[in-house]
């Protein structure tokens, strides 16, 4: 089970998160907060013509939240907003209910499902994404 | 697990405490309005929790912490379902009914009551749904006014409407079922009239939950409150239902762990409800026990309970009134199985002592309803309250014991 | 009842929960600072109470009510004795440590804090002994100021003296033992300096009571607070010790039954402490369980507990520091058996998950001490806390599990 | 046991309390309050030359509190204040600890000892007496 959680991809993204940093010209941004551990991230997006043209995030946290956010940014960059939101639903279904669909390489996070205490870590970045796109300032996995 | 003897209440065997002698006589427990007994499943659930799962919640990544968190969150869902709340987040766990009213009176009161505002409390209110409002009124400059009741305990409806129309009423505090007389208040109608003038309603459901199904959406209550220990659950736990938009707009009540988002000496921010109102380590075992009690209750046939309790109420009332010098108070139609009486031969405390020597547990006193005692012009009453685990045999012992008291004092 | 294997802690066998597997491994419970486990005698006492005596207190003339009342009043005497209070009436039962601080901050605060007054809280305070003061300050116009601490967790004594001398300090809030670092604060000296300038002191003893004898008279504390569930007792119960003249002068906190003398719509009067501060039906079973826990604790040899825990602390600290990349925080002299550490290879939550998969329960996070995390410049720590029921075997599993985490993440 | 509590003397004093009423010229008075039941009595005394020359009480309550207060007034009327206070101690010892001493006919209340819930009823009048003599306005059996 532990090996399912800490797969090589996750350890790698956890250690070297992609798209980390600040976006001065962000059109959307939101903070994500996990009440369980207090982890906090800040997400910046540039949306043009309903498409996520750039995305970055700041903040430190556990390997799962960092890797999941890193993978999320890689996946949604260049996506239509509607497609990103649809992907969120699929991702959520995977880590919460175990329904694994085609997920653009996010399947490596399916193991989180067996660790209920860590599901909120895996969804933190996604909640922030949804809030940012909805024009809200903050998201929490409460 | 059917009971051995079919002369006894079908529910009795699930309550291990009832099977004992006190003062050399079989226990006849008629004090459930003060605190109900607990079915075996509630006791076993709590004991199991402490022996297998005990840990703090919302904090631990480890297995016990996770199991405790799941049990705690699940209990909230059970309470929400039992009351038919819209959202699970509308349920706040407290240490009891009294604390729940204090939470509303302090938090909502502080944010909403202004000098001149009026809070209406029925004259029959339990001190728990009156004193917190007096304290809130004192801090905010609001006034608490009584809603009169009739001799039989029922609300004086015309007076209620007049009070609503003639005062800037912001809150109405009313019980659903009276712990002293058993009166069932028309809370749905009370709410709709209050809402008509823009007032909110806090319904004290402490005595309703053990006797009947409750639907907060149907009632339309803004706040609805229950006590674990009166509803076959453990002591030290209660629940507050509050409509989500109201809870969201309320400031914190107590400060501490788990209710905060960030803490610093420069300023602290708070979580959303229900967490905002649950500071510190909760009574996880208590909450888990409360959920077990409500699930047990929901699995019983409420119609059968009602028929059983109403039979006892009717026959006990009749038999008591046949004893010369006994006067039963507050016989309103449709009331719950709670009987308050006084006699012309002895003070309620002396009666309670005689009854105790016969194994019968009743309560004598003002039942935390001093204004109601004043209204009924009695210093105290004897109260016999019947739960589903009581039966005809209990009733008969009660009647004989009251007759004995009469012999001693006359 | 001596333990079967003499390799294990002599206390272990009294804690039934410890004898289980989680995630296929024997449970190693190192999260007692979050919530301690309960010895069998505590669980049996509570279960027995519910199965034999359950009733409301201070109200019933009947046998069960009388037994409950005696058990409840006796529990107050047990707590008073455990803390060496002068009067039994100096003990107020609450639902927990957090509520006890809120009671003091709201009731004493409201009556005594004025705009400009200062409340000092150490930077290491648990949110429970900080946020209630912030809420009270907000309502009264007072200010909460931090008392700095050194890198090892100890109080910056010179800064403390300077703060006392340079501010109109009315209250100092300090913990006795730190839940995060184990630091033992010199509460007796803190009190005597505070009293010198006329300030009072609220000592948060949540983490002290499980580890050491406490003497409130010797400390000189004005208020001293404990949590049942951290001291081998049940959840949902705590106690506040307050010097009687202080309690007597304080207004009620919550309103309701049992705290009143007379209630009427014209005005309500209140009882003396402790009753004034105990509104509503108390958690009798919880209070009885707390008394059982403190009596159990008092019957143990505290010197032996101390030697045992200090051995574990020293050897665990040493072994952890031998693992490359591990840094143990706050190693002040004389500290209690609580170890917080961070690593350069993984985030505390990831470590806790790995440890859990090895059966080891630790806590990862800010431990309700966000300002302390800021001060130590870490977002979170892993915390392993040792109680008397832990032993060398537990420690070894911990060390191996941390080493495994390092292998996974490096 | 019950017969020990409700002896004939007690029932009699309970039904027809002696010295019941008001004393306009009271030099001392106090209210007694029993938190268990809310029973309240008001005691009036005239003390001259350290002697209780008159005593009366008002208020209703249970047979035990009425009878005990009635018996108390009968017994202390004409007594020196110090002797009345000494008698209180003996009475208290009897109903709380069961030490029965010579008690001027108050022994009939010894049965209360077996009824812990009623001890406060039996001592209510006495507490009020002590408070009144001490110059306090109120006594409670709290
Ligand atoms: C030092 C300290 N103070 C206060 C508390 C709060 O106790 P509780 O959550 O039981 O109210 C805790 C435990 O969380 C603690 O460790
Ligand atoms: C109608 C009613 N409201 C409120 C309460 C207070 O409940 P608790 O004492 O459990 O807080 C009670 C019970 O005493 C009650 O009967």
Q: Is residue D140 part of a domain?
A: no
| Ligand 1 mutation pick, C35, C105, C124, C126, max ligand atoms within 8 A of CB | C126
The domain made up of B45-298 is a member of CATH 3.40.640.10: yes
Task: Please state, rounded to an integer, the average pLDDT across all residues of chain C.
Answer: 96
The ligand with the least distance to the CA atom of C204 is 1
pLDDT for the residue numbered B1: 44
Secondary structure class of B372 (helix, strand, coil): helix
How many Å lie between the centroid of ligand 1 and the Cα of residue B83?
31
pLDDT for the residue numbered C1: 44
Closest residue to C285, CB basis, from B132, B235, B255? B235
Q: Is C363 in the pocket of ligand 1 (CB under 6 A)?
A: no
Q: What are phi and psi of C6, to 5 degrees?
A: -85, 5
**Contact at 8 Å (CB) between B56 and B65?**
yes
Residue C71 has pLDDT above 50, yes or no: yes
CB contact under 8 A, D63 and B350: yes
pLDDT for the residue numbered A142: 66
Q: D61 lies in which domain range?
A: 2-134
pLDDT for the residue numbered B404: 97
pLDDT for the residue numbered D105: 81
The ligand with the least distance to the CA atom of B210 is 2
Closest residue to A63, CB basis, from C347, C357, C380? C347
Q: What are phi and psi of B203, to 5 degrees?
A: -100, 125
- Chunked mean pLDDT (size 10), chain B, 410 residues: 66 96 97 98 97 90 94 98 98 98 98 98 98 98 98 98 98 98 98 98 98 97 98 98 98 95 94 97 98 97 96 98 98 97 96 96 95 95 98 98 95
Ligand 2, atom 12, lies closest to the CA of: B206
Distance of CA C11 to the CA centre of its chain: 21
Selection from B102, B171, B239 nearest residue C280 by Cα? B102
Q: Is residue D110 part of a domain?
A: yes
B65 in contact with C at a CB cutoff of 8 Å? yes
* Integer Cα distance of B127 and B133 in angstroms: 10
Query: What is the DSSP secondary-structure string of A57-96?
Result: EE----HHHHHHHHHHHHHHTT-BHHHHHHHHHHHHHHHH
* Integer Cα distance of B131 and B15 in angstroms: 34
Q: What is the pLDDT of residues D50-66, one digit of tens each?
A: 999 999 999 888 999 99
| Geometric angle at alpha carbon B205, from B40 and C51, rounded to 5° | 20
How many Å lie between the centroid of ligand 2 and the Cα of residue C280?
7
* Integer Cα distance of A69 and A30 in angstroms: 13
Verify whether residue C368 is a known catalytic residue.
yes
Element (DSSP H or E) covering residue D29: strand D28-33
**Contact at 8 Å (CB) between C216 and C241?**
yes
Q: What is the pLDDT of residues C312-354, one digit of tens each?
A: 999 999 999 999 999 999 999 999 999 999 999 999 999 999 9
Active-site amino acid positions of B: 368
* Integer Cα distance of C252 and C260 in angstroms: 9
CB contact under 8 A, D6 and B408: yes
- Strand order of the β-sheet with D138-140 is D51-58, D40-48, D28-33, D138-140
Cis preceding-peptide flag for A127 (omega within 30 of 0): no
The number of the ligand 1 atom at minimal distance from the alpha carbon of C227 is 10
* Integer Cα distance of B90 and B363 in angstroms: 34
Q: What is the pLDDT of residues B290-340, one digit of tens each?
A: 999 999 999 999 999 999 999 999 999 999 999 999 999 999 999 999 999
Residue C38 has pLDDT above 90, yes or no: yes
How many Å lie between the centroid of ligand 1 and the Cα of residue C98?
6
Alpha carbon of B388 to those of B1, B201, C281, D121: distances in Å?
Answer: 16, 29, 22, 33
Secondary structure class of B225 (helix, strand, coil): strand
For the segment C30-45, the average pLDDT, to the nearest whole number, is: 98
* Integer Cα distance of B300 and B310 in angstroms: 16
Name the closest residue on chain B to residue C32, using Cα atoms. Answer: B55
D62 in contact with B at a CB cutoff of 8 Å? yes
pLDDT for the residue numbered D142: 67
**Contact at 8 Å (CB) between D116 and C70?**
yes
Residue A36 has pLDDT above 80, yes or no: no
Partners of residue D140 in chain C, C-beta under 8 Å: 261, 271-272
Q: What is the pLDDT of residues C213-233, one digit of tens each?
A: 999 999 999 999 999 999 999
A130 in contact with B at a CB cutoff of 8 Å? no
Partners of residue B62 in chain A, C-beta under 8 Å: 117
Name the closest residue on chain D to residue B364, using Cα atoms. Answer: D37
Q: What is the pLDDT of residues A70-94, one digit of tens each?
A: 999 999 999 999 999 999 999 999 9
pLDDT for the residue numbered C114: 98
Closest residue to B364, CB basis, from D5, D37, D66? D37
Query: What is the DSSP secondary-structure string of D75-86?
Result: HHTT-BHHHHHH
The residues lining ligand 2, judged by C-beta closer than 6 Å to any ligand atom, are B 96-98, 126, 128-129, 175, 179, 204, 206-207, 227, 229, 368; C 257, 280-281
Q: Is residue A140 part of a domain?
A: no
- In chain D, how many domains are there? 1
Q: Is C126 in the pocket of ligand 1 (CB under 6 A)?
A: yes
For the segment D60-76, the average pLDDT, to the nearest whole number, is: 94
Q: What is the ipTM of this complex?
A: 0.95
Q: What is the CA radius of gyration of chain C?
A: 22
CB contact under 8 A, C380 and A121: no
Query: What is the DSSP secondary-structure string of B151-217?
Result: TTS-B-HHHHHHHHHHS-EEEEEEESB-TTT-PBP-HHHHHHHHHHTT-EEEEE-TTTTTTS---HH
pLDDT for the residue numbered B165: 98
Partners of residue D61 in chain B, C-beta under 8 Å: 347, 349, 379
Residue among B88, B261, B263 with most chain A CBs within 10 A, to mutate: B261
State which CATH number among 3.40.50.720, 3.40.50.300, 3.40.50.2300, 3.90.1150.10 fits the domain covering C12-30+301-409.
3.90.1150.10
Token couple for C95: 């639902």
Q: Is C176 in the pocket of ligand 1 (CB under 6 A)?
A: no
Same fold, B12-30+301-409 and B45-298: no
For the segment C362-391, the average pLDDT, to the nearest whole number, is: 96
pLDDT for the residue numbered C5: 54
pLDDT for the residue numbered C6: 62
Q: What is the pLDDT of residues C119-166, one digit of tens each?
A: 999 999 999 999 999 999 999 999 999 999 999 999 999 999 999 999
CB contact under 8 A, C66 and D116: yes
D1 in contact with C at a CB cutoff of 8 Å? no
The number of the ligand 1 atom at minimal distance from the alpha carbon of C178 is 1
Confidence class for position A39, pLDDT limits 50, 70, 90: confident
Q: At A73, which CATH number?
A: 3.90.1010.10
Token couple for C298: 């008092």
pLDDT for the residue numbered D14: 92
Give the start-to-end residue ranges of the domains of chain C.
Answer: 12-30+301-409, 45-298
Partners of residue C66 in chain D, C-beta under 8 Å: 116-117
How many Å lie between the centroid of ligand 1 and the Cα of residue C301?
25
Closest residue to D117, CB basis, from C66, C262, C275? C66
CB contact under 8 A, C347 and A61: yes
Q: What is the pLDDT of residues D98-129, one digit of tens each?
A: 887 777 788 899 999 989 889 999 999 999 99
Q: Is C368 in the pocket of ligand 1 (CB under 6 A)?
A: yes
How many Å lie between the centroid of ligand 2 and the Cα of residue B126?
7
* Integer Cα distance of B330 and C25 in angstroms: 62
């Amino acid at each position: 089970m532990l090996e399912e959680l800490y797969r090589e991809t996750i350890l790698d993204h956890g250690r070297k998160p992609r798209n980390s940093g600040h976006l001065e010209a962000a059109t959307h941004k939101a903070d994500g907060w996990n009440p369980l551990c207090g982890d906090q991230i800040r997400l910046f997006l540039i949306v043009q013509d309903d498409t996520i043209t750039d995305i970055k995030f700041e903040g430190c946290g556990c390997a799962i939240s960092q890797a999941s956010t890193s993978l999320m940014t890689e996946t949604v960059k260049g996506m239509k907003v509607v497609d990103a939101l649809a992907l969120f639903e699929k991702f959520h279904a995977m880590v919460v209910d175990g329904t694994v669909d085609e997920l653009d390489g996010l399947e490596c996070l399916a193991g989180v499902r067996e660790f209920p205490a860590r599901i909120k870590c895996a969804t933190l970045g996604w909640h922030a994404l949804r809030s940012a796109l909805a024009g809200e300032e903050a998201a929490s996995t409460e | 697990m059917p009971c051995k003897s079919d002369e006894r209440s079908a529910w009795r065997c699930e309550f291990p405490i009832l099977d004992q002698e006190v003062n050399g006589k079989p226990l006849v427990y008629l004090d459930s309005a003060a605190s109900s007994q607990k079915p075996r499943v509630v006791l076993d659930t709590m004991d199991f929790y402490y022996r297998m799962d005990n840990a703090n919640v919302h904090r631990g990544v480890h297995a016990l912490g996770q199991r405790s968190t799941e049990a705690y969150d699940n209990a909230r869902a059970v309470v929400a379902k039992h009351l038919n709340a819209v959202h699970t987040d509308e349920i706040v766990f407290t240490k009891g009914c009294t604390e729940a009213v204090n939470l509303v009176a302090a938090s909502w009161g502080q944010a909403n009551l202004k000098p001149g505002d009026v809070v209406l409390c029925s004259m029959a209110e339990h001190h728990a749904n009156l004193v917190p409002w007096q304290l809130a009124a004192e801090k905010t400059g609001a006034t608490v006014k009584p809603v009169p009741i009739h001799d039989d305990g029922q609300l004086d409806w015309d007076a209620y409407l007049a009070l609503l129309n003639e005062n800037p009423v912001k809150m109405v505090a009313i019980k659903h079922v009276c712990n002293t007389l058993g009166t069932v208040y028309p809370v749905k109608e009370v709410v709709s009239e209050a809402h008509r003038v823009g007032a909110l309603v806090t319904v004290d459901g402490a005595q309703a939950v053990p006797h009947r199904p409750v639907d907060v959406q149907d009632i339309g209550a803004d706040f609805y409150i229950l006590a674990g220990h009166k509803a076959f659950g453990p002591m030290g736990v209660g629940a507050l239902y509050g409509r989500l938009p109201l809870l969201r707009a309320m400031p914190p009540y107590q400060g501490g762990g788990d209710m905060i988002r960030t803490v610093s000496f420069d300023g602290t921010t708070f979580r959303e409800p229900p967490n905002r109102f649950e500071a510190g380590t909760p009574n996880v075992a208590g909450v888990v026990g409360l959920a077990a009690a409500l699930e047990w209750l929901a699995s019983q046939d409420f119609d059968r309970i009602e028929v059983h309790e109403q039979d006892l109420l009717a026959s006990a009332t009749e038999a008591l009134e046949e004893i010369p010098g006994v006067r039963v108070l507050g016989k309103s139609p449709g009331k719950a199985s709670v009987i308050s009486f006084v006699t012309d031969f002895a003070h309620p405390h002396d009666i309670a002592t005689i009854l105790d020597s016969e194994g019968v547990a009743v309560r004598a006193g003002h039942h935390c309803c001093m204004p109601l005692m004043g209204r009924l012009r009695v210093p105290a009453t004897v109260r016999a309250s019947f739960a589903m685990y009581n039966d005809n045999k209990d009733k008969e012992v009660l009647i004989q014991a009251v007759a004995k008291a009469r012999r001693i004092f006359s």
